[in-house]
């Protein structure tokens, strides 16, 4: 719909660009794999019956003669009243597929004689994305206006953003008159649902709920959003509405199932992508080992950041329009600064100015200007955090560099999908970071190219998530059995009596629960947070509140002396005051990052599931993790060198969560010739590498999970390795690990065995978040231990 206009075609195919990158001396060995993904022609269908002629006229005027097959199919399902999730590639026109039926319904509403016509609700994970949708809608309206009287009737549909930035004087207007309201789950949770009486006419007329980028609702956040959506459905039902849910997702495995867990409703899936694609050459790239020594003298690989800056320089010199995706804003800035310096040397300052960094938090106009600069070719290179995925339109590039695996195959394809236009090829390069997962991936292309993308993991039944939503729901309208209990899932009947005992809810008449407390029930939970009093991050000199950090991670991320990144800026923590839950910080630019060291103990509370792998055992259940942050290390930027350790004085914290753990027996170890002193290093190394590889099997981040390895655990009586969910009550990651344990642990074994280092390095068994300073670690021991474990797994 807002596809960029004509671009000048690339001078040559993507293979030529790659050949030039590898042609530079000393680089031949860094290319570990080249995947050719063939082009795919477009497939078209007719729009289904039931769409308004004004909408079709406006779409035609915007230059789209005929929809692609998946757009037509999704629109048809939506018109027939089916909930539907569209999970197709980047730039495959998902917005249009749901906008066509939604705008048709809303347009009918504008002709309603009395009362309010049909309404629609659009949910995006970020404010920027909702604002972007409104802009796209505005563009369609402008096209419609110019296209003649029929299409111009589309402008009668009133759309508005309703979020934290909406001025209070406008909010009333939006509630009363907007037909299409664009917002986010936070606003739904904190404002719209608790204030539903004021939204009564809007909710009564609600025909469609659009959930954009629904794959971002995963883990704990996704579980919260799932409960917010149940609260929305409950209120709609009370007002007599039964909206159809339309979801748009990146390509993920089993999108229908994920959408069903998210909405609690049956959802049809549309996955057969009819949009065209140019040829893509996808290269896997491993930076070389350097002369530098890291922890315990381990070899250090050249950083993905430094390598990406070099490749960006070469591509820009080649007139190839390129975006680099990198995790942190700092990384984005480093890449752009290095590339600018190299370009200035090679081709002068004018060339250097054609590369920029994208910093989060830009105003919409600034983002549009950036898009235009890239489009016109004035800007040839951009280094960006993945924040750009949400909010800036950069489809149709010549090349995409990924500085590090973005965490999931879904994001990988989403980022790589920014390259390529119809009729022209594209180059994508994944540059491995120095960690076990990235290293594994660039040596196992089949795990990227021959595997379906992962499905979205969420667990709405987590009692830690559900409890506050039951309170919020009761505050919105008293909860009644049995209907409401069914809606909120199997944990609800167990939780209600507990909430009653804690004085949170009051039961009357046996089957109705009320919220009678003074405070706002919706304030009980921050749906993006973890529970517990969040720690406020305050600028020491100005007293300005920068933001908050979850109680659960404060000790690790904002301890005294920590380097803390907030919205891309770097701060040094002067003091963490636990009593007042405040961290005092000052903006700084130290040449190092910090990593906390901790001690962790784990107790088994109960085992839910287990399987025997011969003598060895695999278990899943509830645990209590006690963690104490004891010191922190300073690590030099870019090179990763360790600069020193500082002690901290912080109290222990406990976390009740879910874990997967495996055990082997003393006999097994003896038979395999293990010496007792070898076990701690072997188990610890296996634990690290397995945490590194788990994101390949569950859509988690390495930082979402933790691990403990114990040569003799008091609860199991055996050598045991635990991997636990880092969130209270668990987020589904440990459960997924249990279900896919054989594949997961086999990949772990392969990753360690294949690493070219001698005694362990960050690419295999060292962990950047190790609380024990990566000591002890035994690479060969880990290989033997995992082989032993997996021998019985059949």
Asked if 757 interacts with Zn ion (CB under 5 A), we say yes
Contact 422, 278 (CB under 8 A): yes
Of the candidates 725, 754, 745, the one whose C-alpha atom is nearest the C-alpha of residue 662 is: 745
Q: Name the segment binding Zn ion (CB under 5 A); options: 152-160, 221-229, 739-747, 757-765.
A: 757-765
Q: Which of 710, 724, 586, 569 is nearest to 658 (CA)?
A: 724
Q: Which stretch binds Zn ion (CB under 5 A): 445-453, 574-582, 656-664, 748-756?
A: 748-756
Q: Which helix (H) or strand (E) holds 662?
A: strand 653-663
Question: Smallest gap, in angstroms, from Cβ of residue 692 to Zn ion?
Answer: 11
Query: Are 708 and 686 contacting, i.e. CB atoms less than 8 angstroms apart?
Result: no
Q: From residue 55 to residue 94, what is the string marking binding to Zn ion with x (rule CB under 5 A)? A: ----------------------------------------
Residue 548 CA to residue 556 CA, distance in Å, equals 14
- Sequence-distant (≥ 6) Cβ neighbours of residue 358 within 8 angstroms: 332, 370, 382, 383, 384, 385, 387, 388, 392
- Within 580-599, the residues that bind Zn ion by CB under 5 A are none
End-to-end CA distance of the chain: 51
Whichever of 39 and 772 has its CB closer to Zn ion, that residue is: 772
Q: Is 763 in the site for Zn ion (CB under 5 A)?
A: yes
Residue 614 vs 776, nearer CB to Zn ion: 776
C-alpha dist (Å) from residue 360 to 189, 380, 520: 25, 19, 32
172 vs 758, beta carbon nearer Zn ion? 758
Q: Kindly tell me which residue out of 86, 554, 721, 755 binds Zn ion, with binding defined by CB under 5 A.
A: 755
Considering beta carbons, is residue 628 or 772 the nearer one to Zn ion?
772
Is the peptide bond preceding residue 776 cis, with omega within 30 degrees of 0? yes
Q: CB-based burial of residue 554 (10 Å sphere; 0-12 exposed, 13-18 middle, 19+ buried)? A: buried
- Compute the chain's Rg from CA coordinates: 27
Least Å from the CB of residue 770 to Zn ion: 3
Cβ contact 181:202 at 8 Å: yes
| Shortest CB 642 distance to Zn ion, Å | 15
For residue 707, the minimal CB distance to Zn ion (Å) is 7
Of 129 and 755, CB closest to Zn ion: 755
Q: Are 78 and 247 in contact (CB under 8 A)?
A: no
Site string for Zn ion, 704-743 (x = CB under 5 A): ----------------------------------------
Q: Which stretch binds Zn ion (CB under 5 A): 10-18, 176-184, 495-503, 760-768?
A: 760-768
Smallest distance, Zn ion to C-beta of residue 740, A: 22
Site for Zn ion in 764-783 (CB under 5 A): 764, 770, 772
Shortest CB 765 distance to Zn ion, Å: 7
| Residue 512 vs 772, nearer CB to Zn ion | 772
Q: Residue 761 Cβ, how far from Zn ion at the closest point, in Å?
A: 4
65 or 291, CB closer to Zn ion?
Answer: 291
Residues in CB range of 644: below 8 A, 6 or more apart: 633, 634
The distance of closest approach from Cβ of residue 759 to Zn ion in the complex, given in angstroms and rounded to an integer, is 8
Q: Are the C-beta atoms of residues 648 and 715 closer than 8 Å to each other?
A: no
Give the binding range for Zn ion (CB under 5 A) out of 270-278, 423-431, 440-448, 754-762.
754-762
In whole angstroms, the minimum distance from the beta carbon of 440 to Zn ion comes to: 11
Interface residue with Zn ion among 304, 761, 782, 785 (CB under 5 A) is 761
**Positive or negative CA dihedral for 142, 144, 145, 148?**
positive
User: Is 640 within 8 Å of 292 (Cβ atoms)?
Assistant: yes
Closest approach, Cβ 303 to Zn ion, in A, equals: 16
C-alpha distances in Å from residue 565, one per residue of 330, 426, 471, 708, 771: 9, 33, 34, 27, 20
Instruction: Between 312 and 764, name the residue whose CB sits nearer to Zn ion.
Output: 764
| Span interacting with Zn ion, options 193-201, 202-210, 362-370, 756-764, rule CB under 5 A | 756-764
DSSP code string of 591-616: SEEEEEEEEEEEEEEEEEEEEEETTE
Q: Could you tell me which stretch among 129-137, 153-161, 464-472, 755-763 binds Zn ion (CB under 5 A)?
A: 755-763
Neighbours of 673 (CB within 10 A): 8
Q: Is 300 in the site for Zn ion (CB under 5 A)?
A: no
Q: How far is the CB of 691 from Zn ion (least distance, A)?
A: 9
Q: How many CB atoms lie within 10 A of CB 531?
A: 19
What are the tokens at 629?
Answer: 């942050």
Residue ranges in contact with Zn ion by CB under 5 A: 755, 757, 761, 763-764, 770, 772
């Amino acid at each position: 719909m807002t596809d960029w206009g004509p671009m000048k075609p690339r001078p040559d195919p993507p293979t030529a660009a790659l050949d030039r990158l590898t042609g530079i001396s000393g680089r031949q060995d860094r290319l570990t794999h080249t995947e050719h993904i063939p082009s795919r022609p477009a497939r078209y269908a007719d729009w289904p019956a039931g769409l308004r002629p004004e909408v079709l006229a406006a779409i035609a005027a915007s230059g789209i003669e005929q929809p692609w097959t998946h757009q037509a199919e999704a629109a048809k399902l939506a018109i027939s009243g089916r909930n539907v999730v569209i999970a197709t590639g980047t730039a495959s026109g998902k917005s249009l597929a749901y906008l066509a039926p939604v705008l048709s319904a809303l347009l009918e509403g504008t002709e309603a004689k009395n009362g309010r016509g049909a309404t629609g609700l659009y949910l995006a994970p970020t404010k920027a994305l909702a604002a972007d949708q409104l802009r796209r809608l505005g563009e369609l309206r402008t096209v419609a206006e110019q296209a003649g009287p029929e299409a111009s009737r589309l402008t009668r549909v009133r759309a508005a953003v309703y979020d934290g930035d909406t001025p209070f004087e406008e909010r009333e207007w939006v509630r009363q008159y907007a037909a299409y309201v664009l917002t986010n789950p936070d606003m739904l949770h904190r404002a719209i649902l608790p204030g539903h009486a004021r939204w009564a006419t809007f909710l009564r007329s609600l025909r469609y709920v659009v959930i954009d980028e629904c794959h971002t609702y995963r883990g704990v956040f996704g579980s919260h959003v799932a409960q917010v959506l149940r609260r929305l459905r409950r209120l709609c039902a009370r007002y007599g509405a039964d909206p159809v849910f339309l979801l748009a997702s990146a390509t993920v495995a089993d999108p229908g199932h994920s959408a069903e867990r998210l909405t609690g409703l049956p959802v049809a899936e549309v996955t057969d992508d009819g949009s065209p694609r140019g040829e893509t050459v996808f290269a896997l790239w491993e930076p070389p080992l350097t002369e530098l020594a890291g922890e315990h003298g381990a070899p250090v690989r050249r950083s993905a950041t430094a390598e990406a800056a070099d490749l960006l320089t070469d591509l820009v010199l080649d007139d190839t329009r390129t975006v680099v995706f990198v995790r942190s804003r700092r990384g984005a800035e480093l890449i752009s600064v290095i590339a600018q310096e190299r370009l200035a040397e090679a081709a002068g300052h004018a060339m250097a100015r054609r590369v920029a960094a994208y910093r989060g938090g830009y105003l919409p106009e600034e983002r549009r200007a950036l898009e235009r600069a890239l489009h016109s070719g004035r800007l040839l290179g951009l280094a960006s955090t993945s924040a750009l995925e949400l909010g800036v339109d950069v489809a149709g590039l010549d090349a995409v560099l990924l500085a590090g695996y973005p965490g999931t195959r879904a994001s990988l394809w989403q980022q790589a999908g920014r390259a390529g236009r119809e009729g022209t090829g594209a180059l994508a390069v994944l540059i491995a970071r120095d960690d076990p997962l990235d290293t594994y991936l660039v040596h196992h292309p089949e795990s990227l190219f021959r595997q379906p993308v992962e499905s979205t993991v969420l667990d709405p039944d987590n009692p830690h998530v559900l409890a506050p939503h039951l309170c919020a729901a009761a505050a919105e309208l008293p909860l009644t059995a049995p209907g409401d209990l069914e809606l909120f899932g199997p944990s609800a009947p167990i939780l209600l009596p507990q909430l009653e005992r804690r004085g949170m809810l009051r039961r009357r008449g046996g089957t109705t629960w009320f919220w009678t407390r003074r405070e706002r029930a919706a304030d009980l939970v921050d749906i993006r947070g973890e529970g517990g009093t969040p720690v406020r991050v305050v600028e020491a000199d100005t007293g300005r509140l920068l933001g908050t950090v979850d109680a659960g991670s404060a000790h690790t991320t904002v301890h005294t002396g920590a380097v803390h990144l907030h919205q891309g800026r770097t701060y040094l923590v002067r003091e963490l005051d636990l009593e007042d839950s405040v961290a005092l910080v000052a903006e700084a630019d130290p040449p190092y990052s910090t990593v906390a060291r901790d001690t962790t103990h784990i107790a088994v509370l109960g085992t839910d599931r287990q399987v025997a792998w011969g003598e060895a055992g695999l278990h899943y259940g509830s645990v209590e993790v006690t963690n104490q942050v004891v010191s922190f290390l300073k690590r030099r930027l870019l090179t990763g060198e360790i600069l020193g350790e500082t002690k901290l004085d912080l109290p222990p914290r406990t976390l009740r969560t879910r874990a997967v753990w495996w055990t082997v027996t003393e006999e097994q170890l003896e038979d395999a010739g293990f010496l007792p002193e070898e076990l701690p290093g072997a188990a610890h190394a296996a634990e690290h590498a397995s945490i590194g590889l788990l994101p390949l099997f569950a859509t988690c981040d390495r930082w979402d999970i933790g691990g403990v390895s114990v040569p003799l655990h008091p609860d199991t009586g055996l050598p045991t390795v635990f991997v636990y969910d880092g969130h209270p009550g668990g987020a589904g990651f440990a459960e997924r690990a249990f279900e896919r344990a054989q594949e997961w642990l086999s990949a772990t074994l392969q990753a360690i065995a294949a690493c070219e280092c001698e005694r362990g390095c960050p690419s295999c068994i060292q962990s950047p978040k190790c609380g024990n300073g990566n000591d002890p670690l035994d690479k060969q021991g880990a290989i033997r231990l995992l082989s032993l474990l997996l021998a019985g797994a059949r």
